């Protein structure tokens, strides 16, 4: 059945004062009425915070009635009156949840977060009540047991399989006593995961590196200084400079600042998020999450949380994931070690006697890259005007699939910086709506992500098209300069845009199978494959134009970029793999224990031989992906999918045309459109005619 993307991580509201909320007339609640807007997007300006709680309660009430109708149906259970009816139930609840979830991620507030904490148990209980409803499961089971005779095919067969497993994995077969235990665990996990993410956001917002001496700005590019001055104004420190642990502020500072002690201060502030023994500390929370996940796995007859999660992924088993990660680790670690030696050599050559530390890596690797290839990030940044990069991504999609993106000022947005586009297919038909939210703010979580306000589905013969949103945290325009982004951020834009394409191009009947509703280690294929186009010279030339002169990125700079493409790849691979292995170490535990997060993490990193000059990409206390998002026992998915995307892009390269129409059509038909209606490896084989291996990935990263 359909589940909200952020059911555990986010929702928010039943809440605060229920009696006061009860006074609100449902008839006046915009969330409970049809959205009278272009393409029925949410009417953001009409929605008030107090509208959500009664709307959520009403959504729960309506779905409860829909479930009762299914149970009380006098006809024998069949695919239509049980499985499809269940899939279609909860549409009102899903509609309201999606609006709140997305706003709670991109435009939250203390009041919204409080409501989220109060609502989370109610939503968890509602979900459990469905999955553990014996009468409902009996009907589902009866349809499932007759599946051989029903002759269901394709999407219908997959929906039946998923629905049955949804119930079994949700505790339908447990004893009454264990069902109550599972309900309690699910409620606790929903609250703990929510609190973990809120703590990280609070920690990010509570730290600032305040600089009032211009000498402390030594080494920083003009644009970085200008952005810090604007941040200072926003923070109430006009006339000074403020740097934060948000990536658009953090990364430029530790890359260019000549002040080693300040680099250390900012870097350590970032790596201590959630680990400051204050009200936002996450150590005890993550320990509880890990232990509750183990307890839940045991109740459902799995040895570990990883075994429970991976059963539904391409990898299938923890052993296969660990083997995959360890094989890559053995190839990447020696490369990273050699990179560290080169950086230490540079430090020594400058007459310094200190040992390379993690807060030095970015600074000295940038110096080394400049020395070896005569290139640095700031030399490239003027060519990456945000609007041009966005249009470049649109052009790639147009050349591959013929689709068009038309900005629409009449489509409501939830914040003035957000852009809205109507997306049309090559025949001019409507494909969906795309929101793009580019800039950081205190009310927005860190990182970049794609989500949906509405999933695609075909109902009663009507193709209901999706409403997709992409979110980023890029530096804002400063003064008379537009937003200029780094090449890494160029890749991030193409990445999330790739997710958006899967959401927009999908063609499925059932929302729980459409778009990005695919195994976690398959979903990143569609996003990461887009990054390959971003790096191609002919694509770069289409959008990489100086913001001030319009000059196309020169051939000399493209050659430098190509020569330096393998630079620092040992570091990039190792810090990522370290986080993936840390994730697996937590989630392959088979017995609950009183975890000391710092000790556990240190042991995990020592066991794999992580060199001290590199720190794991995400330390445990701010590892949102696995403790607040949906990537527990799944952070490996990015590099697993990179094996797929590297091989998939080679299919285009082999034709001699990166926009080869036949290959693009095959990718759209076999990868982008089917969603989760077919086993992912079968889809990939239909596209590529062979299974992928790691060679293409290792070649792309320069590790072989």
- Residues annotated as catalytic are 496
Calculated CA dihedral for residues 444, 448, 452, 455, nearest 10 degrees: -160
CA distance 558 to 532: 15
DSSP string across 574-612: HHHHHHHHHHHHHHT--S-----HHHHHHHHHHHHT--T
SS3 443: coil
Give me the residue label for tokens 């997060």.
597
Pair type for strands 430-437 and 467-471:
parallel
Nearest to 447 by CA among 437, 459, 434: 437
Handedness of CA 128, 129, 134, 137 (dihedral sign): negative
Residue partners of 405: CB distance under 8 A and separation at least 6: 394, 397, 398, 421, 422, 423, 434
CA angle 328, 330, 334 (to 5 degrees): 115
Beta-carbon-side half-sphere exposure of residue 685 (alpha carbons within 13 Å): 7
CA distance 633 to 422: 36
Instruction: Please count the other Cβ atoms lying within 10 Å of the Cβ belonging to residue 210.
Output: 13
CA distance 241 to 12: 35
> In the 3-class helix/strand/coil scheme, how is 160-171 assigned residue by residue?
HHHHHHHHHHCC
Handedness of CA 258, 261, 267, 270 (dihedral sign): negative
**Residue 471 forms beta bridges with which residues?**
437, 449
CA distance 550 to 572: 32
CA distance 2 to 512: 5
Give me the residue label for tokens 């549409």.
91
Burial of residue 371 (number of CB atoms within 10 Å: 0-12, 13-18, 19+): exposed
Backbone angles phi and psi of 7, in degrees to 5: -55, -45
DSSP string across 259-280: -HHHHHHHHHHHHTTT-SSSTT
Nearest to 672 by CA among 648, 643, 696: 648
Q: Where are the alpha helices (DSSP H) in 383-470?
A: 386-401
Q: 277: alpha, beta or left, given left = phi > 0 and alpha = psi -120 to 50?
A: left
Q: Are 106 and 443 in contact (CB under 8 A)?
A: yes
CA distance 111 to 414: 17
Give me the residue label for tokens 């694509």.
539
DSSP type of residue 216: G
Residue partners of 657: CB distance under 8 A and separation at least 6: none
């Amino acid at each position: 059945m359909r589940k909200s993307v952020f059911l555990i991580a986010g929702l928010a509201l039943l809440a605060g004062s229920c009696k006061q909320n009860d006074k609100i007339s449902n008839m006046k609640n915009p969330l409970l009425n049809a959205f009278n807007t272009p393409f029925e997007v949410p009417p953001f300006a009409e929605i008030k915070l107090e509208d959500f709680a009664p709307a959520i309660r009403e959504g729960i009430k309506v779905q409860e009635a829909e479930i009762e109708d299914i149970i009380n149906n006098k006809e024998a259970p069949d695919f239509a009156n049980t499985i499809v009816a269940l899939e279609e139930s909860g549409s009102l609840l899903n509609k309201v949840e999606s609006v709140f979830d997305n706003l709670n991620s991109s435009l939250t507030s203390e009041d919204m977060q409080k409501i989220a904490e109060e609502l989370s148990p109610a939503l968890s209980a509602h979900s459990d009540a469905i999955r553990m409803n014996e009468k409902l499961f009996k009907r589902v089971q009866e349809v499932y047991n007759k599946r051989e005779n029903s002759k269901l095919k394709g999407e219908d067969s997959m929906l039946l399989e998923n629905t049955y497993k949804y119930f079994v994995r949700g505790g339908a077969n447990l004893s009454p006593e264990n069902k109550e235990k599972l309900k309690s665990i699910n409620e606790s996990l929903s609250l703990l995961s929510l609190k973990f993410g809120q703590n990280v956001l609070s920690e990010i917002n509570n730290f600032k590196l305040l600089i009032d001496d211009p000498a402390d700005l030594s080494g920083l590019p003009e644009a970085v200084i200008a952005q810090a001055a604007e941040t200072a104004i926003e923070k109430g420190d006009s006339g000074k400079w403020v740097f934060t642990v948000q990536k658009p502020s953090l990364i430029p500072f530790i890359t260019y600042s000549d002040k080693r002690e300040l680099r250390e201060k900012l870097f350590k502030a970032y790596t201590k998020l959630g680990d400051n023994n204050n009200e936002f500390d996450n150590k005890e929370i993550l320990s509880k999450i890990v232990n509750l996940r183990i307890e839940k796995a045991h109740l459902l007859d799995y040895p570990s949380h990883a075994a429970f999660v991976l059963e539904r992924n391409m990898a299938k088993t923890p052993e296969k994931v660990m083997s995959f990660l360890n094989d890559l680790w053995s190839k990447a670690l020696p490369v990273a070690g050699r990179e560290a030696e080169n950086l230490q050599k540079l430090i020594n050559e400058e007459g310094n006697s200190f040992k390379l530390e993690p807060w030095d890596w970015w600074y000295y690797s940038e110096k080394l890259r400049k020395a070896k290839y005569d290139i640095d990030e700031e030399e490239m940044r003027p060519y990456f005007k945000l609007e041009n990069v966005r249009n470049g991504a649109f052009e790639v999609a147009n050349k591959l699939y013929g689709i068009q993106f038309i900005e629409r000022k009449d489509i409501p947005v939830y914040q003035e910086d957000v852009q809205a586009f109507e997306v049309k297919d090559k025949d001019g038909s409507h494909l969906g709506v795309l929101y793009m939210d580019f800039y950081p703010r205190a009310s927005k979580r860190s990182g970049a992500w794609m989500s949906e306000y509405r999933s695609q589905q075909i109902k009663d013969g009507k193709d209901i098209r999706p409403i997709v949103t992409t979110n980023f945290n890029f530096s804002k325009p400063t003064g008379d300069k537009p937003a200029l982004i780094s090449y890494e951020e160029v890749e991030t834009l193409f990445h999330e845009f790739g997710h958006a394409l899967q959401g927009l191009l999908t063609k499925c009947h059932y929302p729980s199978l459409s778009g990005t509703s695919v195994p976690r280690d398959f979903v990143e294929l569609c996003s990461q494959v887009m990054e390959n186009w971003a790096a191609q010279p002919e694509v770069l030339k289409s959008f990489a134009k100086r913001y001030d002169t319009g000059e196309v990125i020169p051939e000399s700079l493209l050659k430098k970029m190509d020569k330096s493409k393998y630079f620092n790849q040992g570091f990039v691979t190792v810090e990522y793999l370290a986080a993936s292995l840390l994730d697996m170490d937590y989630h392959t535990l088979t017995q609950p224990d009183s975890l000391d997060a710092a000790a556990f993490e240190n042991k995990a990193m020592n066991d794999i031989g992580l060199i001290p000059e590199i720190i794991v990409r995400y330390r445990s206390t701010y590892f949102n992906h696995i403790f607040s998002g949906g990537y527990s026992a799944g952070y490996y998915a990015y590099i697993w999918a990179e094996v797929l995307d590297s091989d998939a892009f080679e299919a285009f390269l082999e034709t001699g045309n990166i926009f080869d129409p036949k290959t693009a059509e095959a990718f759209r038909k076999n990868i982008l459109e089917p969603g989760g209606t077919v086993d992912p490896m079968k889809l990939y084989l239909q596209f590529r005619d062979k299974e992928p291996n790691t060679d293409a990935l290792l070649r792309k990263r320069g590790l072989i």
